[in-house]
Structure 1
Amino acid sequence: MTRYLISFLPWIAYAFVATSDDWRKGALVGLGIATVVIWRDRKSGKNWDEMVIETSAFVFFAGIAWLSYAQPDSDLVRYGPALVDAWLALTAWGSLLIRRPFTLGIARKLVPEKVARTEAFYRTNAVITQVWGLAFAAAAVVLAFIIRADAHATTPMIVVKVASFVIPVLFTIRYPKAVAARRAHQTA
């Protein structure tokens, strides 16, 4: 699970810095952390398919950093929290569209190679990625509505952000165990 947390570190840092300070600084901090995480991961031998979220963070924060300086008064700044989740939803759904669920690369390192090559392993990761995609998409919509109603509604935004992360994390932990138990029950 630590690998997932490190993957989301640029997003978490951006949320703290952009909320407490300035979206420009938040974008630069997110970009900097994404760059360091990717550099560290590549240096340690990680494959690109293990770094989908990190790579997505780099692209997102490079774009947001550019926008924050090119158009500092952009209306998009107001919707930053919703944009983050919309981008993450696009990342999750895009990885499914190309049949490379973003959880697959990380999960593959946690199981024997024989298991990682099975269709069941792929399907399990596709379901997990769908849950992440749904959580991100739902958070983006809810956050956009909250922001539109009251851009300074920090507490509801934090609740949505935490829920949209904790729910898929818990699902990611529990679902593979449930699939394995179901499979064991069927073969018994």
Structure 2
Amino acid sequence: MRGLIGFLPWIVYGFIATGDEWRWGGLVGLGIALVLIAWDRAQGRGWDETMVETTAAAFFALVVLYSLLRPDSELPRYGPALLNAALALMAWGSLALRTPFTLGIARAMAPEEVHGTAAFRALNTVITRFWAVCFTAAATALAVVLSLDPYATALVITIKAATFAVPIAFTVRYPKAVRRRLRA
């Protein structure tokens, strides 16, 4: 559950940032991200455990800055796609740096004796790759949908929900499947 809290700024932004409300969504997302980072750091969590929140802070700072510089921009129309593109960039970037973003989150939930194992790292690499693919697919789908029909609200909401529901389900089930295979 702890890992999901890091997505709170992204989720809140998704609810607030509709049309003219994108700058407010950015401000609220930035505020929540900064509070979560401060809380995590006060709790002694490392930066590897706050990658989602740190990426949110950077993304929403850029959203707020851009919204002030270009208030009449057409960019908000593609906000949901850009949000997923930022998350995809975070996930793919963490894989490129050989620090899967799920690794820090998983360390907070897994027994300490498995943290340094190759199997633990491999498991988190697969899970992070799955998240990255889901974020990339959602960014692409949302960009296409929003370019064809900016008022396709039901479809946009469905894609947004699936973007988190599918990888969460995978994140819960995949480690259990691996443990079952190892016991067999």
TM-score tier after normalising by the smaller chain length:
over 0.9
Displacement after TM superposition at 1:5 (Å): 2.1
Partner residue, 1:172: 171
Displacement after TM superposition at 1:114 (Å): 2.0
Q: Which structure 2 residues correspond to residues 34-49 of structure 1 after superposition, within 5 A?
A: 34-49=33-48
Could you tell which deviates more after superposition, 31-40 or 13-22?
Answer: 13-22
Q: Point out where structure 1 has 5 or more consecutive residues left out of the alignment.
A: none
Displacement after TM superposition at 1:75 (Å): 2.4
Displacement after TM superposition at 1:117 (Å): 0.8
Partner residue, 2:116: 117
Displacement after TM superposition at 1:20 (Å): 7.2
Partner residue, 2:133: 134
Q: CA RMSD in A?
A: 1.0
Tell me, in whole angstroms, the C-alpha distance in 1 between the residues paired with 2:115 and 2:137.
30
Identity %, equivalent residues: 54
Q: Matched residue of 2:76: which SS?
A: helix
| Residue 162 in structure 1 maps to residue 181 in structure 2 | no
Q: Which amino acid is 1:151 matched to?
A: P
Tell me, in whole angstroms, the C-alpha distance in 2 between the residues paired with 1:71 and 1:3.
36
Q: Point out where structure 2 has 5 or more consecutive residues left out of the alignment.
A: none
Displacement after TM superposition at 1:21 (Å): 5.5
Cα deviation digits, residues 48-80 of structure 1 (max 9, x gap): 100000000000000111001111122221111
Q: Which amino acid is 2:27 matched to?
A: L
- Which segments of structure 1 move beyond 4 Å, counting only runs of 4 or more? none
Q: Matched residue of 2:99: which SS?
A: coil
Displacement after TM superposition at 1:19 (Å): 2.2
Tell me, in whole angstroms, the C-alpha distance in 1 between the residues paired with 2:19 and 2:83.
16
Tell me, in whole angstroms, the C-alpha distance in 2 between the residues paired with 1:19 and 1:3.
27
Displacement after TM superposition at 1:112 (Å): 2.1
Tell me, in whole angstroms, the C-alpha distance in 2 between the residues paired with 1:33 and 1:106.
18
Tell me, in whole angstroms, the C-alpha distance in 2 between the residues paired with 1:158 and 1:67.
24
Q: So what's the TM-score if we normalise by structure 2?
A: 0.97
